[in-house]
Structure formats: structure tokens, C-alpha cells
């Protein structure tokens, strides 16, 4: 089942062969997630775990024990090699398509928009080391690299590749993370009327747009470190007719005044930071929120209380997909993190929320590497100031 992505005016066009290449990657990923990856559990239970117990005279304690014994299993090796290959093929199939039409995309992005949204870039802003050490999730050049004037390539690549990566399960506009959280906040706090909303680490603004729709009377701001992402995000929001104020800022230290926002959100941002940065970001959220304001961060579940095998299979990206902070984040004590940033312990929220894209097919009901969105729900970490 291939889901069509909405061909908005900024989305790169694919030739017949480019589209077929991307379709193949998506079909390969669905097959790996539904038919190959779940077999790793049987391999673990029937072969790897007994071998670990024989060799160590104890049961595997955590994801590290499981990883050490699974890395020698041929089935796991094959799945891993196929999944890593699918990731590289995904970026390649999209990047070659974007590169072919980049001048036209840049021109389209420059067109004046219809809304009152804005774009503010800051070329002197340093790109943090946790985004330059390796290219996050193997996107060549990551979020920030520019190779030409007014470059939008990273954004164009990301918008299309996210759809392939999630196998269409983020919806035709890739907006499920934002749509799910916005729906949760609206449902949970029906009397909450935010005037100003901030989305941190917005990339192409695909998760930002649902807040414009859910709270049409609010001013929506979005920050991101990568200029090519922001140029694309701004132009994308404009062609969609959604006013958003985009600016190039690091979420650790922004230029907004104290108490600027009623609602601060992020979507799969936290796992792409660092142990130092995440504390700065939570502290910055506290500073930026008005009293009574709320922050919510969408991720996949924490490892605490999870079976060692389940945390191991969800941890694949830490070691194999250039997500170096993924595992560390998922082991963190989030209550301690929130309180260290200034929030009261009783005001910390950790919960699972359902995906807004309820009709998505090919869901596995699992949280596993290479199966983003397969679980049908998201993990939310939040706090009220």
C-alpha cells in the first residue's frame, strides 16, 4: 500500500523513474518492518538469549546485553544491513531528484507569500556540535548544509524523504506528530486558549501547521537551526496559506523575551540534541513560558520499564542510523530533567497519545527501528509552568 503525499507547490516533482525508486524504498521498508524485523524476536528467544545465558550464567539485563548477543546472529545481521541500505537508498532516491530540479525549487521558494508569516535567518548562528559531528539519521548534509545561494535542498529532501521514511503513516502532509499532539492538548485542556505558540526544531514546519489550524486565533512561531530547512518551511507554509513566523535559532538559547509563550511544543527534537543541550532546552522552555503555560515534546517511548529486547530493537538507530543521542535520551529520568529546568515535579506529564492519522495501514503495533509510526501512538513528555 503506497500512500500519496500531497503534491503542494513546494514539494519536489519526481520523474517516473524517481517516483518508482522512492516507491521501491517504501515497499522495501514496509516489508522489513512487517515481515522481517519481527522475526528478530524469535531469533532472540530461541537462539541468542539461550546462548547469552549459557555464556554468562545470567539473563540479559538491558539493551546492551541484548545487542552484544544479537550482533552475531545472521538473521539480525541481514535485517540490519537491509534496513541501513534502505535508509541510504531513501536519501539517495530523493536527493538525486531534488538536485535535478534545485534551481526551480529555489525560485519557487522565493515567491512572495500570501500570509502574514515571516522568515528571519541568522547566518552567524553557530550550528551546534551535536548536529555537525555526524549527519543525523544519515541525511547527507543534515539540516544545515548549504551548497548554493538561497539553498532549500535540505528542506525539499526532508519533506519528501520523511513521507517515504514513515511509509506514509504521518499522513499526506506529514503532519501526524503535530496533529496528534494538537488534538491531545485541545481534548485534554478544552478551556486552554493559547495566544502565542512556539514549535522548537521545526525542520520544514510539517508538524507546526496543525497548531495554526487548531488554534487559528494564536500567533505561531517556529525555530530551527538549519537555514535551508527554514527557507523551505517558510515557503511551504506560505503556499499552504498558513501564517507562521520562522526564525533561525538554537532552542537552547532563543531571543524571545521571558514569558513569551502559552504553549511550547517540539516533535522528535529532543533525541537529536545532547545531554547538555537538552537541559538548556528545558530550562529555556521554562523561561519562555507564561505562568500556567505548557510545554509538550513528542517522542517514542522511554526505555524505563521496557523489556530488554524491546528497548534493544527500538534502540537500533542509536548505533546504526546516526542518532547518537537516541539511546541516552530514552534512558533519561524525565521528571528529574523537568524539575532541573524549573518545573514542579507534580506538574510533569508523561503519557502515550494516539496517532491522529487513524486510517494509516501497514501498522505493526510495534516500536522498533525502521518502523517509525508503526506503533500507532506517540509518547509525550510535558510540564505545566
Partner 1 sequence: MAKKAKGKKPTFFADPQVDKLMAIVMALAGEVSVLRERLDTVERLAENKGLLSRQEIEAYRPNPQAAEEREQWRTEYVRRVLRVVREELEAVERGETTPESYEAAIQAVSS
Pick from 10, 11, 14, 25: which binds partner 1 (CB under 8 A)?
A: 25
Q: Which spans in 244-333 are helix H?
A: 275-288, 308-314, 316-320, 326-331
The dihedral sign for the CA sequence 312, 90, 379, 280: positive
Pick from 48, 106, 142, 282: which binds partner 1 (CB under 8 A)?
A: 142
Q: In what order do the strands lie in the sheet with 348-354?
A: 118-120, 245-248, 219-224, 196-200, 261-267, 289-299, 377-384, 348-354
225 lines the binding site for partner 1 (CB under 8 A): no
Q: How far apart are CA 229 and CA 206, in angstroms?
A: 11
C-alpha cell at 202: 521545526
Smallest distance from the beta carbon of 30 to partner 1, in angstroms? Answer: 13
311 to 350, contacts with partner 1 by CB under 8 A?
A: 319-320, 322
User: Closer to partner 1 at the Cβ: 96 or 351?
Assistant: 96
Site size toward partner 1 (CB under 8 A) is: 42
Smallest distance from the beta carbon of 161 to partner 1, in angstroms? Answer: 12
User: Closer to partner 1 at the Cβ: 16 or 358?
Assistant: 16
How many whole angstroms from its chain centre is CA 140? 16
Q: Cβ distance 169 to 360 under 8 Å?
A: yes
Find all residues with CB under 8 Å of 44, minimum gap 6, and list them.
Answer: 66, 69, 70, 73, 309
Q: How far apart are CA 225 and CA 208, in angstroms?
A: 15
Smallest distance from the beta carbon of 62 to partner 1, in angstroms? Answer: 20
Smallest distance from the beta carbon of 303 to partner 1, in angstroms? Answer: 21
Pick from 2, 28, 36, 366: which binds partner 1 (CB under 8 A)?
A: 28
Pick from 147, 275, 345, 351: which binds partner 1 (CB under 8 A)?
A: 147
Piece in contact with partner 1 (CB under 8 A), picked from 36-44, 139-147, 171-179, 345-353: 139-147
Find all residues with CB under 8 Å of 182, minimum gap 6, and list them.
Answer: 210, 211, 213, 214, 215
Chain positions contacting partner 1, by CB under 8 A: 16-17, 19-21, 23-25, 27-28, 71, 76-78, 80-82, 84-86, 88-89, 91-93, 95, 99, 132-135, 138-142, 145, 147, 153, 319-320, 322
Amino acid at each position: 500500500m503506497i500512500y500519496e503525499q500531497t503534491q503542494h507547490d513546494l514539494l519536489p516533482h519526481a520523474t517516473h523513474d524517481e517516483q518508482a525508486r522512492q516507491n521501491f524504498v517504501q515497499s522495501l521498508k514496509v516489508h522489513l518492518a512487517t515481515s522481517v524485523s519481527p522475526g528478530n524476536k524469535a531469533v532472540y528467544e530461541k537462539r541468542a538469549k539461550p546462548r547469552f545465558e549459557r555464556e554468562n550464567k545470567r539473563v540479559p539485563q538491558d539493551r546492551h546485553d541484548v545487542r552484544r548477543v544479537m550482533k552475531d546472529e545472521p538473521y539480525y545481521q541481514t535485517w540490519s544491513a537491509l534496513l541501513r541500505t534502505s535508509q541510504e537508498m531513501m536519501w539517495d532516491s530523493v536527493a538525486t531528484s531534488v538536485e535535478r530540479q534545485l534551481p526551480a525549487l529555489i525560485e519557487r521558494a522565493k515567491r512572495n507569500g500570501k500570509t502574514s508569516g515571516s522568515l528571519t535567518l541568522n547566518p552567524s548562528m553557530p550550528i551546534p556540535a551535536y548536529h555537525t559531528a555526524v549527519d543525523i539519521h544519515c541525511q547527507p548534509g543534515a539540516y544545515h548544509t548549504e551548497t548554493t545561494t538561497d539553498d532549500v535542498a535540505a528542506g525539499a529532501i526532508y519533506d519528501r524523504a520523511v513521507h517515504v521514511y514513515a511509509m506514509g503513516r504521518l499522513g499526506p502532509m506529514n503532519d501526524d506528530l503535530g496533529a496528534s499532539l494538537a488534538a491531545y492538548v485541545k481534548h485534554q485542556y478544552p478551556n486552554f486558549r493559547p495566544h502565542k505558540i512556539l514549535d522548537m526544531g521545526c525542520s520544514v514546519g510539517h508538524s507546526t501547521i496543525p497548531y495554526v489550524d487548531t488554534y487559528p486565533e494564536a500567533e505561531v512561531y517556529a525555530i530551527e537551526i538549519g537555514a535551508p530547512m527554514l527557507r523551505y518551511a517558510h515557503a511551504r507554509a506560505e503556499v499552504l496559506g498558513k501564517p507562521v513566523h520562522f526564525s533561525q535559532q538554537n532552542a537552547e538559547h532563543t531571543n524571545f523575551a521571558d514569558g513569551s509563550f502559552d504553549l511550547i511544543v517540539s516533535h522528535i527534537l529532543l533525541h537529536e540534541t545532547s545531554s547538555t543541550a537538552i537541559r538548556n532546552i528545558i530550562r529555556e522552555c521554562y523561561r519562555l513560558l507564561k505562568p500556567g503555560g505548557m510545554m509538550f515534546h513528542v517522542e517514542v517511548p522511554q526505555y524505563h520499564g521496557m523489556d530488554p529486547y524491546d528497548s534493544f530493537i527500538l534502540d537500533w538507530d542509536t548505533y546504526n542510523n546516526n542518532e547518537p543521542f537516541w539511546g541516552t535520551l530514552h534512558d533519561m529520568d524525565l521528571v528529574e530533567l523537568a524539575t532541573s529546568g524549573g518545573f514542579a515535579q507534580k506538574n510533569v506529564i508523561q503519557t502515550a497519545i494516539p496517532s491522529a492519522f487513524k486510517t494509516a495501514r501497514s501498522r505493526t503495533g510495534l516500536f522498533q527501528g525502521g518502523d517509525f509510526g508503526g506503533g500507532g501512538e506517540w509518547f509525550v513528555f510535558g510540564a505545566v509552568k
